[in-house]
Structure formats: C-alpha cells, structure tokens
Amino acid sequence: MAMLSAAGIACADPCDLDVPRFEPTLATVATSHPRSTRVPRTIEVELAGFATRAEAAKCFGRRYHELRRAEYITAIVQVGEGWGYLTPGKGGRNVRKVATAPLFEAYRAAGFRLFALAHTHPYGTPHFSDVDLAAMLKAGSGEFYMTNWRNETWRMDATMVSDQLEARAWRANERGVRRLARHLGFEGERVE
C-alpha cells in the first residue's frame, strides 16, 4: 500500500524487502522436481504500488538477485493505477534454459494479463542471453527485464533487438541473436 504524506505525495517505498519470498516448498507437487521450473501453488501479486513497470521489475530483482542457485522469473501486471509483479517461479537448479511456458500458463489461468516479463541472471551472462533475445523476437511485443547478480536491472523490447540487428545487417533469426548476444553482450537499457 502506498501511503500518502500530508502533501498527498506517495512517499513509502513499495519495495518491501521483508515480505517472504517464493521458495521451492511453495511450488505445485507436479513441479517439485529440482530440475523442473517450479510453479507456485498460490499465484498472487507479491508486491504492488509501483508507478512504472520498470520499478516493479527492479524491486523483483532487488529481492531475488541474491539467490544464486537458480533463475527466478515473474510477470509484471497492472494493479489499480499502478504496477506490481506476481509470485515468481523458479528455474531448475543451475539450469540455463528455463522452461517458462508452464509458469506463464499458470499466471494466465489465475486470471492475470501479463504486461512484461522479468527474470534474474544469478550466473552465466550479466547481460541478456541469446535465449532471451530469441524469446523477445518471437514474442514480437512487450518488454523484458533482467536483473543480474550485481543487482543491475536492464530492459529491452523487440524493437531494440531488431534495430540492433538491422544496424549490423544481421538477420532477425536464431543466428543473428546469437551473434548479438555472444559477440556484443546485449545489454538493452539500464533501469536506474
């Protein structure tokens, strides 16, 4: 809940670091295997009251980037006039290509419209990976956020990816995004 000061300006930081985080014991039985993507049994808005989607993504990253054994993934949703993020899912331990489809299906089945996606990079690259870029191009719209283990949050959208490819006359295909990710380390833009 955003609290209002006497002047009527929102002043409380909605990014509460003390709210309990999602952990594997809270996953569905079907996804309880350590290597599978854990889907939360109960899907709720974990925190809300953010003025922008970027702020919601940044808060999720602040809360989950220190968990270094697996990636965490969430979706940004609209809550009233502002933004929030959902109970995150968790990738398999040390898994680099996380299967996100079951998690997003569960989010939609719970009645949420997903406006943007956010995830952590606890290992591997501190930038967007070729898998991220390929997923973004495939989605064709929306936004993608990533917070690395240094607690830096980065944003990209499909236009940023296709513009970079076009500038280098590289094709918007798997090979193109691999070149972009591996040879340049695609960062997108930093969320301050």
Residues binding Zn ion (CB under 5 A): 129, 132
Q: Between 158-167 and 130-139, two packed helices, what is the crossing angle to 10 degrees?
A: 110
* Contact of 133 with 162, CB cutoff 8 Å: no
Shortest Cβ distance from residue 79 to Zn ion (Å)?
25
Shortest Cβ distance from residue 151 to Zn ion (Å)?
15
The residue (of 39 and 136) whose beta carbon lies closer to Zn ion is: 136
Shortest Cβ distance from residue 10 to Zn ion (Å)?
31
Kind and range of the H or E run holding 165: helix 158-167
Which residue(s) pair with 167 in the sheet?
none
Radius of gyration of the chain (CA): 17
Shortest Cβ distance from residue 13 to Zn ion (Å)?
26
Torsion of CA 14, 15, 18, 19, to 10 degrees: 70
The CA angle 21-80-137, to the nearest 5 degrees, is: 70
Torsion of CA 94, 160, 54, 6, to 10 degrees: 170
Which residue's CB atom is positioned nearest to Zn ion?
132
The residue (of 132 and 152) whose beta carbon lies closer to Zn ion is: 132
The residue (of 31 and 147) whose beta carbon lies closer to Zn ion is: 147
The residue (of 27 and 117) whose beta carbon lies closer to Zn ion is: 117
Shortest Cβ distance from residue 8 to Zn ion (Å)?
39
The residue (of 100 and 129) whose beta carbon lies closer to Zn ion is: 129
Measured CA to CA, the distance from residue 3 to residue 152 in angstroms comes to 27
Burial state string for 96-131 with b = 16 or more CB within 10 A and e = fewer than 16: eebebebbbebbeeeebeeebbbbbbbeebebbbbb
Shortest Cβ distance from residue 31 to Zn ion (Å)?
20
The residue (of 132 and 157) whose beta carbon lies closer to Zn ion is: 132
